[in-house]
Amino acid sequence: MVATLILPGLNGSAEGHWQRHWARDNASSTIVRQASWSRPALHEWLQSLEGELERVGDAWLVAHSLGCLLAAHIATRPAARHVRGAFLVAPCDLERTERLHPGVIDFGEMPTDRLPFRTFVVGSRGDRYMDFVRLRRYAALWGVKLHDLGHAGHINIESGFGQWRQGYQLFSSLTDAPGRRAPKGTQPQRVSRAITASA
């Protein structure tokens, strides 16, 4: 069975968050622990993720907020060979997140490289951590599909996302898709037609 590594964002995912439910619902899931949830440092978070990928071998990544940027940054590291695919929910914009939480985040720059593994992004039009227009731009840069969840806040406890059943269905669209990884050097996938039409 392929492992699922769950990547929370700033301050971790509190009890009741959909990521916590997923960790309990799926015996093959593990929350990747970080030394500091409240003061994220990219090099430390990468080391933790790389260690888990080396331990479990091939894995799906299920990330939220800053955890999505962690997943995108792993793409340029050797450990990316273990990533079967990534399910990125409500990626945050570093500039905006740093304004909301001044002086606590050391996460470098926004990742902009095309992702070498299958990826499915779920975004919201009402997310204070990422403007939807900017999210579409990053999805295009990453070469990934983008699903518009509408005005759903930051897709967290505050916006009503506890045991998120629809999320399992969206995740299965990633895990059930044919093929394993996007070949390097190919053209980026088109962003979801539904997103373009409703923008």
pLDDT in tens, 93-143: 999 999 999 999 999 999 999 999 999 999 999 999 999 999 999 999 999
pLDDT band at residue 64, thresholds of 50, 70 and 90?
A: very high
How far is C-alpha 162 from the geometric centre of its chain's CA atoms?
A: 17
pLDDT at 193 over 60: no
Q: In this predicted structure, which of 38-52, 71-85, 115-129, 152-166 has the lowest mean pLDDT?
A: 152-166
Which residues lie across from 86 on neighbouring strands?
61, 119
% of the chain with per-residue pLDDT over 70: 89
Strand order in the sheet with 118-123: 29-31, 3-7, 59-64, 83-89, 118-123, 145-148
Q: What CATH number is attached to the domain comprising 149?
A: 3.40.50.1820
Euclidean distance between CA atoms 6 and 166, whole angstroms: 17
- pLDDT for position 3: 96
Q: Which domain holds residue 145?
A: 3-198
What pTM, to 2 d.p., does this model score? 0.88
- Total domains in the chain come to 1
**Interval 186-197 mean pLDDT:** 28
- pLDDT, tens digit, for every residue of 151-188? 999 999 999 898 898 999 999 989 987 654 433 332 33
The total number of residues shown for the chain amounts to 199
Ranges 13-17, 83-87, 178-182, most confident = 83-87
